[in-house]
A and B are shown apart, each in its own frame.
Chain A
Amino acid sequence: MLVHYPGPWSPLLGRLALKEIPYQNPILVWTFVLVSCAALAIFAAITYHRAWGYLWREWLTSVDHKKIGVMYCLVGLVMFFRGFIDGVMMRTQQVMAVGPQSPGYLGALHGYLPPYHFGQIYSAHGTIMILFAITPILIGIMNIVVPLQVGARDMAYPYLNAVSFWLTASATALVMISLFVGDFSHAGWVGLSPLTELAYSPGVGVDYWIWAVQIGSVGTTLASINIIMTIIKLRAPGMTWTRMPIFCWTALSTSVVGLSSFPVFTAAVALLSLDRYAGTHFFTPGLGGNLMLYTDLFWIWGHPEVYYVILPAFGIISEIVPTFSEKPLFGYMTMAAASIAIGGVSWSVWLHHFFTMGAGPGVNSFFSIASMLVGIPTGVKVFNWAFTLYRGRIRFDLPMLWALGALVLLLTGGLSGMMLAMPAINYTVHNSVFVVAHFHNMLNVVGFAAIGGINFWFPKVFGFKLDERIGKRAFWFFSAGTVVLFGSMYALGFMGMPRRIDYIPFVSWRPLLMSEEAGIFLFLIAAYYMIKQMYVSIRDRAQHRVTGPDPWRTARSLEWLTHCPVPFYNFALLPHINSRDEWAWRRQNGLVNLRPDHYEDIHLPNNTFVPMLLGALAFGLGFGMVWRMYWLAGLSLLGIVVAVIARSFEPDSGHTIPGVRIREIEETLPEELDGMEPVADVAGGVVAFQARTAPRAPAQEP
């Protein structure tokens, strides 16, 4: 049954052998040294501060949606950095390897990366950026924000939430370990078939890719279920569908997209792994396989996936823009409808990724028109944001800068997308770096929005703001880098430069390639400032500490109603929703400084180490299958089944925090009034009166 593969194999170690550790490659060795030193330093610091118990109790075993969200973001940011370094390496290789006269280093004919290594880098860059950087960051933000915005104490399934996170984390660990043990796929992030078949890629690289994306996509599917259920089931009383904050609408739409598309990816990759492990012929060129089947299945997931990342970004922009325009969002209903529409259209456009594969004019026209249709709901959104800005009292705080940057990028990226949606143009620029420039432009929209969202909600989670001055520097360098790099790349695309090449034959392209290199250098400076911003803000957190529940003073939705940082129970009493922008409504009606007149017991789920165990076992399964150590994979799978069954026998009763205790906690929290002075001219026009207790709620009007 199991297919014969080239090379030695032992029952204990599978295909793993000392020669698989790339200790001859100086780049990887120095990376390894660097990573090990950093890891050792972190371990030492944790041990020195005796923080292991704290880490275990408060983070690793936590089922709190805010902590899981923060861990998601942390994993995503680390991988963002890793993917970025891959980008730097690619840009540097391309600027070095121009023309036949260009010198070669480190065993490469031109530049410093041999083609095989270059292939691994662009495959890793794509896979990491979309699946292990931006997706976890957005899921992290949704994890933190959605329960707060709907007025819930946690996600619908806190335990499943932790499982999703640990699956994502173990998938990420698989990608990272492929750096130092074996190698990574060289077949692009799309897993070009039949290049991914065993006959053409006999190494473990494609296997690493398969198992990493497989485990990660299971985690994402489960996360989508959780977010949908949180929105459907756990909305606070009074929050009708049309009172739901707009970010929740986009989170709902995106989760429906994720829930329905990721399983297709799971199936496509599972069939590919059957080809590689069981010797079947789904996508092989011979014996009745069909290459286009893979391409279709992949993009049936692949296109919804890019909307999966853009929709939460739209939601974040829709939260930031009204806050810093000091106006309600223009066209709430159309905005919600547009979010759902984009999710729906995402299903009927996948073929535009391979217009040139000869599907015929009828099919191409259908998908061309469907792709252009996406422009309508997206245009609705752009105009709604523009009208929200119109005559607003605009403040250029850091989140607003990122959101406006995203808007500009969305315009250019959307227009180049319109061009690509036309088959005639697509035939010309297909497989050129024009396409690469287009989707980097669009994913930069997501990146800008995500960074804006992190800056926006950071004080909500941690109680202090990120440093504004350094953050603005990061923003400007990031924006300049985007323009310089991807502007040049658009131009090179028009000149016909193909994507994914490690050697550039035309010397005339060198100036633009150097401009791209300058762009990545600007990104490097931006990355420096981002890390510095994080470091300085945490170091000087006392100065950056915020008071009151709404550090931006003009925020609108429900999450700003509870304290900064959010206590572990989110809301002492679940709020009753009276308006679409509940917090803005309470602020405008002077209802912000009230405290509930009574507290009630709060029931919360217990911490559990099982999700982390499942993550570790999933890692064992993936690693065992990659190296064909079947005993390890089998044991891990057995372990997963046993752990799931064993946990089902636990009563899982959770614990109850008595209302008296909640009152104590609430009374030790800093005075809400600080910074929320009822000054007439203050941003947002706060007119609060000072009542210490809530008026007894009379019977609700019919």
Chain B
Amino acid sequence: MSQEAYIKPAHAVLWQSHPPGHDVISTKTLGFWLYLLSDSMIVSSLFASYLVLNHRVNAAAGPTAGMVVHPVVAFFETVLLFSGILAYGFAMVGLKRGDKKAVLSGLASAIILAVGFLVIEGVDFAGLAGHGMVPERSGFLSAFYALVLYHGAHLVFAILWTLVMIVQVAREGFTENVVYRLLNLKLFWFFRKRFNNYTLPLIP
């Protein structure tokens, strides 16, 4: 099995005759997948911490999961977030057609929906903080906030990146650099969705 096929030296090709077609986009996208792998390790560490600290002892006589999670709010947040990702998906459909306008409007609506998500989350957390449910209160709340705020921080960066992409698409059109960034950003947005998917069943 490990034996190699014998190649006659006299017929061997020693140098390749033409430089390879260097596939920039797939190289960059696969690399971004690897980055997402490393990021999901951070996320899983946070989930593990949350699961460890989601215990009455770690609530330190403070609020528990049932008191800080508002399912109705979470529902609307999820709707907004998923709509944002859907909007990004529409932008990708536009990219396939090479339709600059569709891409730009898709990106812009994704941003608007994501900002809506952040606003709701901010209001929700402000309410919690008003009742003294702050990360400093207990180990459980620390883990809860770390998890959801890590998600929020990703969203902030996704919005920032999407803004940059709007400018680049408008300025440069669909060059190789712009296209691979749009594809990576798509992965980044969908990663948020997976994150959210796992968060929902685990949080209560």
Contact = CB atoms under 8 A, between A and B. Distances in A.
Interface string A639-658: 00100010011011000000
A393 to B, nearest CB: 23
B157 to A, nearest CB: 9
Interface stretch (A221-229, A396-404, A540-548): A221-229
B38 A288 contact: no
A231 B42 CA distance: 25
B contacts with A: majority SS: helix
Contact of B41 (A156, A225, A264): A264
Given A600-B19, A694-B15, A287 B138 contact: yes
Contact of A263 (B15, B45, B160): B45
Given A263-B39, A290-B58, A649-B168, A280 B146 contact: yes
B135 interface: yes
B52 interface: yes
B181 A648 contact: yes
A678 to B, nearest CB: 15
B31 A156 contact: yes
A102 to B, nearest CB: 44
Nearest to A293: B52
B164 A648 contact: yes
A232 interface: yes
Given A259-B38, A287-B139, A594-B14, A574 B20 contact: yes
Q: Most A CB atoms within 10 A — which of B27, B41, B146?
A: B41
B9 interface: yes
A88 to B, nearest CB: 37
A698 B49 contact: no
Interface string B33-47: 011011101100110
A267 B46 contact: yes
B194 to A, nearest CB: 16
A574 B39 contact: no
Interface in B128-153: 135-140, 142-143, 145-146
Q: Most B CB atoms within 10 A — which of A287, A594, A649?
A: A287
Contacts of A641: 160
Contact of B45 (A3, A264, A281, A701): A264
Contact of B14 (A242, A271, A591): A591
A196 to B, nearest CB: 16
A332 B160 CA distance: 48
Interface in A675-702: 694-695, 697-698, 700-701
A590 interface: yes
Contact of B13 (A281, A332, A576): A576
A257 to B, nearest CB: 12
A312 B143 CA distance: 36
B65 interface: no
B53 A288 contact: yes
Contacts of B10: 695
Interface in A550-598: 573-576, 578-580, 586, 589-591, 594, 596
Interface in B106-136: 135-136
A260 B33 CA distance: 12
Contacts of B15: 573-576, 596, 694, 697
Contacts of A600: 18-19
Contacts of B37: 259-260
Nearest to B178: A648
Interface in A235-272: 236-238, 242-243, 259-264, 266-268, 271
Contact of A288 (B20, B46, B139): B139
Contacts of A268: 45
Contacts of A576: 12-16
B13 A263 contact: no
A288 B14 contact: no
Interface residues of A, number: 71
A233 interface: yes
B20 A578 contact: no
Contacts of B181: 648
Contacts of B17: 697
A290 B52 contact: yes
A289 B139 contact: yes
Q: Most A CB atoms within 10 A — which of B57, B60, B139?
A: B139
Contacts of A3: 136
A611 B18 CA distance: 32
Q: Most B CB atoms within 10 A — which of A286, A288, A601?
A: A288
Interface in B42-88: 42, 45-46, 48-49, 52-53, 57-60, 62
A279 B136 contact: yes
B200 interface: no
Contacts of B140: 288
A700 B8 CA distance: 11
Contacts of B59: 288
A284 B39 contact: no
A579 B7 contact: yes
B42 A274 contact: no
A630 interface: no
Given A233-B30, A288-B53, A641-B160, A281 B138 contact: yes
Given A225-B35, A281-B142, A652 B16 contact: no
B14 A282 contact: no
A262 B16 contact: no
A278 interface: yes
Contacts of B199: none
A17 interface: no
Contacts of A596: 14-15
B20 to A, nearest CB: 7
A333 interface: yes
Nearest to A263: B41
A288 B160 contact: no
Contact of B42 (A263, A286, A300, A586): A263
Nearest to A600: B19
Given A589-B9, A648-B181, A287 B60 contact: yes
Contacts of B45: 263-264, 267-268, 297, 300
A232 B29 CA distance: 13
Contacts of A279: 135-136
A232 B30 contact: yes
Interface of A: 3, 156-157, 221, 225-226, 228-229, 232-233, 236-238, 242-243, 259-264, 266-268, 271, 274-275, 278-282, 284, 286-290, 293, 297, 300, 332-333, 573-576, 578-580, 586, 589-591, 594, 596, 600-601, 603, 641, 645, 648-649, 651-652, 694-695, 697-698, 700-701
Given A233-B23, A280-B142, A574-B19, 13 more contacts: A229-B27, A278-B136, A282-B139, A288-B53, A288-B57, A290-B139, A297-B48, A573-B15, A576-B13, A648-B168, A694-B15, A697-B12, A697-B13
- What are the 7 closest A-B residue pairs judged by CB atoms, nearest first? A288-B139, A280-B142, A589-B9, A267-B45, A263-B41, A288-B60, A288-B58
18 contacts: A156-B31, A225-B34, A233-B23, A237-B16, A242-B2, A243-B4, A262-B38, A263-B38, A263-B39, A278-B135, A280-B136, A281-B139, A288-B57, A289-B58, A297-B45, A574-B20, A591-B14, A603-B19
